[in-house]
């Protein structure tokens, strides 16, 4: 952009110059100059009708691109609306640059209605918070924000933008040089120690996370496993796994504490890669927090900020295994198209049949997919994305960001009906942007998982008031009307064959679709 620059135009240009070229926005009066600056063909702007959609979409963008997106949020309340999905993004190690509008400095002293402690709201879920205080230095602030967000693992940056900083003319811009993001190399001595462990003949599981669950790092992990007999595992939830036929398969450590403990009992060593040892999602009165058996050793092959691809190269060398040695390969499974009743097994079989090659599956299926997604391991090669932060309502926004990041790939979003209600406004953005997303709603009219957790916690038998807090069937949500109201074509299915067909049809056609799976 040429011509006289103000703080807002400089901010947008700096974001784009540093590779941040999409903004998931929900603007207000204090952001009007930023909005004007978004009229810049280098920046794509996407309107989201709730800030949790904007922040979740930024998370989805990062999961695919591994570079941050920006969000535009309206003062403290706008940020607060976006925080739950910022939390999920943070736990997924996604980078994000939040621009939070603020009153002009001269106006703040009068405590107008939308004033609040924005730093106080931002800090717990941001790695970096700064308040821009001059149009001249905003390029510096913005490039710092992007720099931090682009670190490995990704970070949350929040830049607070007062109105007058936006509208003031830039006189003498301060611009820092760009520094490339780097990933740390692991220590050789630690690699050598792990090579010794793997050669000892004692049982070992290598637990992969973040960048190690895809690309070359995953393939190299498969070579280590094949050469040493170690097994490859992942935490129950992972930011993104490349899986399916022909890929290196990873076993999933179960969610439930008893099953996870039983699964881990067989291992004398856990070798962690960009993660830590498995921890129970919740604490229960009679169950442990750590799920390995007593006496199991834990070794970090690569810490969260280290380069796991390099770690596996070094490990293969230390083991005396060639870099081009064979890897583990997931065979294609010839799943028979399911018929009859819809249940977690028939649903997983339908997915295994209908997931198209190169699809991206965003999973918030909760009780419908929790035990059965292993059945899709041998489907056509695809990416699988999970919620890392446990705050429900992540999947429809994340699918939105994923589809914008990868417009040529079909996206499938599996979501429980309860979870879908948090951020269902995503459908509107999906329709407006014509995104290739098939949303599958698992309509069991219930917070089914909480019924099971009630028993797991030993809380006894739920009384009628307690039951009413986990039952969402009255009134019944009309999913077809919901989709129609936001411009998304929809269909309801009640049998496995209808579901398989509806899914296969939906992913073939461009644009968003919604399938209500009536359970």
Residue choice 316, 360, 361, 392 for contact with ligand TPP (CB under 6 A): 392
Q: Verify binding: residue 210, ligand TPP, rule CB under 6 A.
A: no
Q: Of the candidates 1, 380, 450, 466, which one interacts with ligand TPP according to CB under 6 A?
A: 450
Minimum CB–partner distance for residue 443 and Mg ion (Å): 7
Please choose, from the candidates 516, 357, 509, the residue with its C-alpha nearest in 3D space to the C-alpha of residue 435: 509
Alpha carbon of 201 to those of 190, 197, 228, 292, 301: distances in Å? 18, 8, 8, 19, 18
E strands, 332-477, where?
Answer: 359-364, 382-386, 411-416, 437-443
**446 is an interface residue for ligand TPP by CB under 6 A:** yes
Closest to ligand TPP by CB, 312 vs 447, is 447
Residue 51 interacting with ligand TPP (CB under 6 A): no
For residues 286 and 315, the answer to whether their CB atoms sit within 8 Å is no
Rule CB under 6 A: choose which of 30, 71, 261, 419 binds ligand TPP. 419
Q: Where are the alpha helices (DSSP H) in 246-375?
A: 257-264, 308-319, 344-354
Nearer to Mg ion, 44 or 451 (CB): 451
Part in contact with ligand TPP (CB under 6 A); list of ranges 74-82, 130-138, 291-299, 416-424: 416-424
Please tell me whether residue 363 binds ligand TPP under the rule CB under 6 A. no
Handedness of CA 238, 240, 243, 249 (dihedral sign): negative
Binding site for Mg ion (CB under 5 A): 416-418, 444, 446
Residue 407 interacts with, from ligand TPP, Mg ion, none (CB under 5-8 Å by kind): none
- The rounded distance, in Å, linking the Cα atoms of 512 and 416 is 18
| Calpha distance 250→328 (Å, rounded) | 10
Residue 366, interface with ligand TPP (CB under 6 A)?
yes
| DSSP code of residue 238 | -
- Which of Mg ion, ligand TPP, none binds 449 (CB below 5-8 Å, type-dependent)? ligand TPP
Distance CA 306, CA 210 (A): 11
368 binds, among Mg ion, ligand TPP, none (CB under 5 to 8 A by kind): ligand TPP
- Candidates 410, 389, 357; CA nearest to 243 is 357
Q: Residue 8 or residue 449: which is nearer to ligand TPP going by CB?
A: 449
CB-based closest residue to Mg ion: 416
Residue 417 binds ligand TPP, judged by CB under 6 A: yes
Among 61, 263, 394, 447, which residue interacts with ligand TPP (rule: CB under 6 A)? 447
Residue whose token pair is 């979409």 = 57
Q: Nearest CA to 128 among 96, 97, 158?
A: 158
Decide which of Mg ion, ligand TPP, none touches 390; Cβ closer than 5 to 8 Å per partner kind.
ligand TPP
* Residue 303 or 417 with smaller CB distance to ligand TPP: 417
- Residue by residue, what is the 3-state secondary structure of 88-142? HHHHCCCCEEEEEEECCHHHHCCCCCCCCCHHHHHHHHCCEEEECCCCCCHHHHH
Contact 305, 282 (CB under 8 A): no
Closest CA to 381 of 210, 206, 500, 218: 218
423 binds ligand TPP per the rule CB under 6 A: no
Task: State how far the Cα of 8 lies from the Cα of 250, in Å rounded to an integer.
Answer: 46
| Residue number, 330 or 391, with CB nearest to ligand TPP | 391
Contact partner at residue 229 from ligand TPP, Mg ion, none, CB < 5 to 8 Å by partner kind: none
CB of 185 to ligand TPP, least distance (A): 37
Give the residue among 310, 355, 332 at the shortest CA–CA distance from 215: 310
Q: Does 477 bind ligand TPP (CB under 6 A)?
A: no
The answer to whether residue 386 forms part of the interface with ligand TPP (CB under 6 A) is: no
- Give the nearest distance from C-beta 478 to ligand TPP in angstroms: 16
Total residues contacting ligand TPP (rule CB under 6 A)? 17
Nearer to Mg ion, 253 or 392 (CB): 392
Site for ligand TPP in 53-112 (CB under 6 A): 84
- Closest listed residue to residue 274, CA positions, set 243, 240, 322: 240
Binding site for ligand TPP (CB under 6 A): 84, 366-368, 390-392, 416-419, 444, 446-450
């Amino acid at each position: 952009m040429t011509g006289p620059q103000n703080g807002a135009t400089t901010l947008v240009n700096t974001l784009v110059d540093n590779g941040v070229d999409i903004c998931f926005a929900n603007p207000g009066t204090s952001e009007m100059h930023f909005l004007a600056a978004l009229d810049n063909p280098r920046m794509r702007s996407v309107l989201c009708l709730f800030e949790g959609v904007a922040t979740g979409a930024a998370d989805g963008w990062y999961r695919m691109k591994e570079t941050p997106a920006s969000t535009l949020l309206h003062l403290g309340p706008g940020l607060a609306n976006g925080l739950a999905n910022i939390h999920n993004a943070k736990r997924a190690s996604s980078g994000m640059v939040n621009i939070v509008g603020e009153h002009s400095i001269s106006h703040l002293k009068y405590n107008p209605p939308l004033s609040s402690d924005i730093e106080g709201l931002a800090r717990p879920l941001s790695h970096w918070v700064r308040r821009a205080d001059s149009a001249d230095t905003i390029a510096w602030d913005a490039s710092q924000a992007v720099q931090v967000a682009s670190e490995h693992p990704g970070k949350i940056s929040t830049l607070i933008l007062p109105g007058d900083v936006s509208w003031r003319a830039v006189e003498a811009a301060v611009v820092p040089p760009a520094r490339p993001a780097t990933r740390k190399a692991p220590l050789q001595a630690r690699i050598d120690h792990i090579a010794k462990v793997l050669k000892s003949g004692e049982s070992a599981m290598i637990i992969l996370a973040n960048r190690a669950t895809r690309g070359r790092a995953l393939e190299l992990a498969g070579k280590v496993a094949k050469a040493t007999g170690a097994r490859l595992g992942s935490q129950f939830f992972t930011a993104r796994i490349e899986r399916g036929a022909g890929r290196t398969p990873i076993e999933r450590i179960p969610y439930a504490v008893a099953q996870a403990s039983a699964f881990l009992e067989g291992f004398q060593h856990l070798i962690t890669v960009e993660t830590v040892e498995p921890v129970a999602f919740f604490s229960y009165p009679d169950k442990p927090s750590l799920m390995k058996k007593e006496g199991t050793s834990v070794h970090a092959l690569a810490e969260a900020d280290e380069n796991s691809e390099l770690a596996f190269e070094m490990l293969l060398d230390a083991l005396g295994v060639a870099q081009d040695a064979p890897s583990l390969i997931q065979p294609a499974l010839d799943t028979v198209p399911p018929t009859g009743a819809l249940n977690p097994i028939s649903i997983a079989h339908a997915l295994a049949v209908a997931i198209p090659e190169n699809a991206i599956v965003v999973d918030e299926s909760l009780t419908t997919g929790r035990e059965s997604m292993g059945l899709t391991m041998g489907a056509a090669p695809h990416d699988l994305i999970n919620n890392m932060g446990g705050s429900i309502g992540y999947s429809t926004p994340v699918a939105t960001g994923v589809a914008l990041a990868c417009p040529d790939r079909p996206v499938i979003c599996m979501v429980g009906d309860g979870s879908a209600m948090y951020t269902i406004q995503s459908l509107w953005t999906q329709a407006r942007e014509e995104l290739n997303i098939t949303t599958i709603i698992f309509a069991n009219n219930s917070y089914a998982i909480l019924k099971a957790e009630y028993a797991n916690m030993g809380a006894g038998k739920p009384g009628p008031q307690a039951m009413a807090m986990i039952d969402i069937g009255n009134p019944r949500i009309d999913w077809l009307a919901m989709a129609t109201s936001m411009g998304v074509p929809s269909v309801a299915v009640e049998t496995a064959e209808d579901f398989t067909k509806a899914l296969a049809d939906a992913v073939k056609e461009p644009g968003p679709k919604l399938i209500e799976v009536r359970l």
